[in-house]
């Protein structure tokens, strides 16, 4: 039967009755229709396949774009390196490292940053630059950290600046205000946190021009990068009036036993505004000597020497009354901040994560603020944790306000100006505490 059916089909095709011819026409038309339809269906299948492939490629590309890592970063952690003077003469700054380690522990307990935990690796450098070099090499070449964070002190940071920039490893938020660390053209991998000493000097100049335009200024400064930067900033801020207003410049060495002779010399030059760019030990000596001489010029003291416990108490609180300085952060012991949300959050943090620490120590509040800024930088990095993007983000901070920033002060950085803190407010010591006064002053002058 199958053979006869096939024969019949052939027969009808060959001999063609009317019904067969009709059927044949239907078949022919059907075949023709299917032949015309086939390319369109094929095109649709090709189009759909191409679309799916493109979607997959885009998805894969986006996934790759979303997750970029350099050495020290992964899906689970961000490895950070830090040297801290846990021992030695400057071990008071060990609290910076201790506070920040505790802060990152809190961040990790909260789930980390974009799902990644911070792995903070710390080594003791005893505030010795050669030791800093040794430990930083270990962090970069041995531990393979993504970047270094908050290396402490001008000398320590200077000792590793060329090395880190040569390796293209970010030297983030260095604890120094020396102008050499704000040089994105020559050292694009280095950014400092502290107020730039040149900027601070210009801010004092703005205050002097507004309030003591006819002052005869005498400058006491430490003969190093810090002191010279403060002097340069003052001169820059005074502009063409500097030569006429500054009547004396006297320096001292860090090895000098006292600055008594320098103070006497400035008094003899007819100075009526004493600009003291020194460190706590020598600032305290100068305050005492002014009192001994019965000399009461307008007294401006740099922020480094403004801590009450380190400078004013050793000198004498009563004879320190009236001294003027500047600030960018809240004083945790000041009653006016007792209900401040940021200060209260800090106290709660200290109680839980660093209970042995002193909640009123400004070293700890400083460390806390820097850690807050680093977390903001890493949040901005998202899933692009390359060293290049870390630097891009730290140079792209917009209106960030740490918990301890004074009202009205915000952090803004840019690719051509790495200064983190450019705004400050003047303050005067009342015999017990510093009192803020006047508006926020911002330095918009040259960055170096």
Domain ranges, ordered by start, for the chain: 77-195+334-408, 198-327+424-442
Written as six digits, the tokens of 218 are 């005498």
pLDDT at residue 310, rounded to an integer: 84
* Rounded to 5°, angle at Cα 368 from 362 and 374: 140
Tell me the torsion sign for CA atoms 412, 414, 417, 419.
Answer: positive
Q: Express as a percent the part of the chain with pLDDT over 70.
A: 85
The closest alpha carbon to 273, from 224, 238, 305, 240, belongs to: 238
Question: Does residue 158 carry a pLDDT above 80?
Answer: yes
Q: What are phi and psi of 323, to 5 degrees?
A: -65, 140
pLDDT at residue 29, rounded to an integer: 46
CATH number of 77-195+334-408: 3.40.50.2300
Q: Do domains 77-195+334-408 and 198-327+424-442 have the same CATH topology?
A: yes
Residues whose CB falls within 8 Å of the CB of residue 247, separated by 6 or more in sequence, listed in order: 216, 217, 218, 269, 270, 271
pLDDT at residue 44, rounded to an integer: 60
C-beta atoms surrounding 17 within 10 Å: 11
Residue 120, judged by CB atoms within 10 A of its CB (0-12, 13-18, 19+), counts as buried
The closest alpha carbon to 303, from 215, 421, 439, belongs to: 421
| Residue with more model confidence, 92 or 95 | 95
Q: How far apart are CA 331 and CA 5, in angstroms?
A: 105
β pairing state of 384-385 and 68-69: parallel
Give mean pLDDT, residues 151-163: 95
Residue 126, judged by CB atoms within 10 A of its CB (0-12, 13-18, 19+), counts as middle
Structure confidence by residue, pLDDT tens digits, 363-399: 899 999 999 999 999 999 999 999 999 999 999 999 9
Question: Does residue 185 carry a pLDDT above 60?
Answer: yes
Residue 398, judged by CB atoms within 10 A of its CB (0-12, 13-18, 19+), counts as exposed
Structure confidence by residue, pLDDT tens digits, 235-259: 999 999 999 999 999 999 988 999 9
The closest alpha carbon to 300, from 408, 424, 167, 414, belongs to: 424
Tell me the torsion sign for CA atoms 10, 14, 18, 22.
Answer: positive
Are the beta carbons of 44 and 37 closer than 8 angstroms?
no
- What is the rounded end-to-end Cα distance, in angstroms, of the chain? 103
Question: By three-state DSSP, how is residue 215 classified?
Answer: coil
Residue corresponding to tokens 């938020």: 173
Q: Residue 404 carries which DSSP code?
A: T
Q: Options 1.10.10.10, 1.10.760.10, 3.40.50.2300, 3.40.190.10; which CATH number does 198-327+424-442 get? A: 3.40.50.2300
For the chain, helix (H) and strand (E) counts, in that order, are 14, 14
Q: Does this model's pTM top 0.85?
A: no
Structure confidence by residue, pLDDT tens digits, 10-48: 333 333 444 444 444 445 444 444 444 454 555 566 556
Local confidence band at 90 (pLDDT 50, 70, 90 cut-offs): confident
Q: How far apart are CA 47 and CA 197, in angstroms?
A: 64
Structure confidence by residue, pLDDT tens digits, 96-154: 999 999 999 999 999 999 999 999 999 999 999 999 999 999 999 999 999 999 999 99
The pLDDT mean for the chain works out to: 89
């Amino acid at each position: 039967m199958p053979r006869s059916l096939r024969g019949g089909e052939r027969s009808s095709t060959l001999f063609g009755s009317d019904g067969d011819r009709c059927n044949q026409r239907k078949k022919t038309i059907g075949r023709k229709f299917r032949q015309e339809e086939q390319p369109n269906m094929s095109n649709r299948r090709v189009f759909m396949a191409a679309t799916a492939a493109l979607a997959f490629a885009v998805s894969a590309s986006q996934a790759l774009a979303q997750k970029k890592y350099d050495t020290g970063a992964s899906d689970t952690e961000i490895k950070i390196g830090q040297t801290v003077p846990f021992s030695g003469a400057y071990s008071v700054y060990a609290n910076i490292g201790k506070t920040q380690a505790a802060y990152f522990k809190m961040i990790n307990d909260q789930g980390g940053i974009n799902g990644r935990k911070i792995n903070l690796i710390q080594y003791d450098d005893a505030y010795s630059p050669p030791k800093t070099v040794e430990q930083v090499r270990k962090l970069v070449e041995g531990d393979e950290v993504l970047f270094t964070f908050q290396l402490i002190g001008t000398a320590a940071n200077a000792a590793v600046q060329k090395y880190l920039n040569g390796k293209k490893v970010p030297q983030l938020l260095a604890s120094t205000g020396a102008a050499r660390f704000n040089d994105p053209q020559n050292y694009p991998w280095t950014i400092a946190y502290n107020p730039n000493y040149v900027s601070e000097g210009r801010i004092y100049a703005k205050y002097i021009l507004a309030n003591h335009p006819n002052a005869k200024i005498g400058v006491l400064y430490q003969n190093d990068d810090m002191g010279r930067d403060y002097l340069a900033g003052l001169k820059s801020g005074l502009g063409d009036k500097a030569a006429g207003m500054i009547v004396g410049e006297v320096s001292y060495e860090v090895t000098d036993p006292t600055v008594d002779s320098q103070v006497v010399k400035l008094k003899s030059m007819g100075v009526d505004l004493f600009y003291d760019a020194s460190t706590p030990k020598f600032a305290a000596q100068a305050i005492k000597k002014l009192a001994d001489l019965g000399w009461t010029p307008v007294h401006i003291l740099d922020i480094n020497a403004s801590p009450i416990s380190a400078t004013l108490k050793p000198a004498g609180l009563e004879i320190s009354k009236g001294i003027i300085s500047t600030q960018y952060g809240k004083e945790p012991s000041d009653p006016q901040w007792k209900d401040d949300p940021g200060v209260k959050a800090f106290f709660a943090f200290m109680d839980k994560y660093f209970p042995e620490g002193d909640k009123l120590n400004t070293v700890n509040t400083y460390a806390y603020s820097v850690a807050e800024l680093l977390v903001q930088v890493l949040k901005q990095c998202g899933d692009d944790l390359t060293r290049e993007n870390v630097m891009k983000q730290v140079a792209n901070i917009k209106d960030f306000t740490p918990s301890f920033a004074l009202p009205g002060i915000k952090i803004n950085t840019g690719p051509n100006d790495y200064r983190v803190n450019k705004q400050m407010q003047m303050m005067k010591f009342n015999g017990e505490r510093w009192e803020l006064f006047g508006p926020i002053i911002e330095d918009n002058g040259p960055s170096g």
